[in-house]
Amino acid sequence: MLWLKRHVDLEPLSIFTDKFAVRDYVREQIGSDYLIPLIGIYDHVNEIDLDALPDSFMIKTTHSSGWNIRVANKAQISWHSIKKQLKRWLSQCFYERHGEANYRGIKPRIMIEPLLSEDQGELRDYKLYFCNGKYLGAHVDFNRFSDHQYRIYDVAWNEFEKEDPNIVRNLPLCPRPEKLDEMIEIGLKLSQGFPYVRVDLYYPQGQIFSVN
């Protein structure tokens, strides 16, 4: 990974980093059934009609990582505050702030998607790792928007024992997903042509979605 960061030009990878543009790649590789439905894509905050949105939804900016707002109940939010935050994000260059070349040149936009959830509560984020077409294992994120923790699993879904305060110790083990083989197959298709890549997936109620 360190060698790739130092010697590979990451700027051409911006098409895969742009949360909206990458949807075309996902659609071509594995089909639209694995895409999270899109409520709207917006160039400006004032284009968003709050009244037309569902009661719950997820807001993302297309040119960044982690600039998301989870809305569980729009009746309980300050839309004025959210608009101010979104305007700040749209005015900022994620590449200039963090120095990650794959974010250079991405058009700042706002995406709104349905808020996905699981029976266990907040959505788990399955991150699968691939190197030259080989599955290496995964880590599962819990509580991304509250007490963020994670677990790490090998290819046989055995947990890695590692001393890390962010690894969950106070929650039950994450069982092997029934559709793990399908998740790996999806990851293999999406990782084609990359020497090393992480593929992020959601698995709410047994349905697999590619995470933009």
* CA 112 from centre of chain: 13
Give the pLDDT confidence score for residue 11 in this predicted structure: 61
pLDDT per residue as tens, the chain (212 positions)? 666 555 565 566 788 999 999 999 999 999 999 999 999 999 999 999 999 999 999 999 999 999 999 999 999 999 999 999 999 999 999 988 888 888 899 999 999 999 998 655 668 899 999 999 999 999 998 876 666 788 899 999 998 876 665 555 566 678 999 999 999 999 999 999 899 999 999 999 999 999 98
Q: For the whole model, what pTM was predicted?
A: 0.88
Integer Rg of the chain from CA = 18
Domain ranges (residues) in the chain: 34-114, 125-210
Give the sign of the dihedral formed by CA 49, CA 54, CA 56, CA 58.
Answer: negative
Half-sphere exposure of 180 (CA within 13 A, CB side): 18
Q: Where are the alpha helices (DSSP H) in the chain?
A: 2-7, 14-17, 22-30, 79-90, 94-98, 180-190
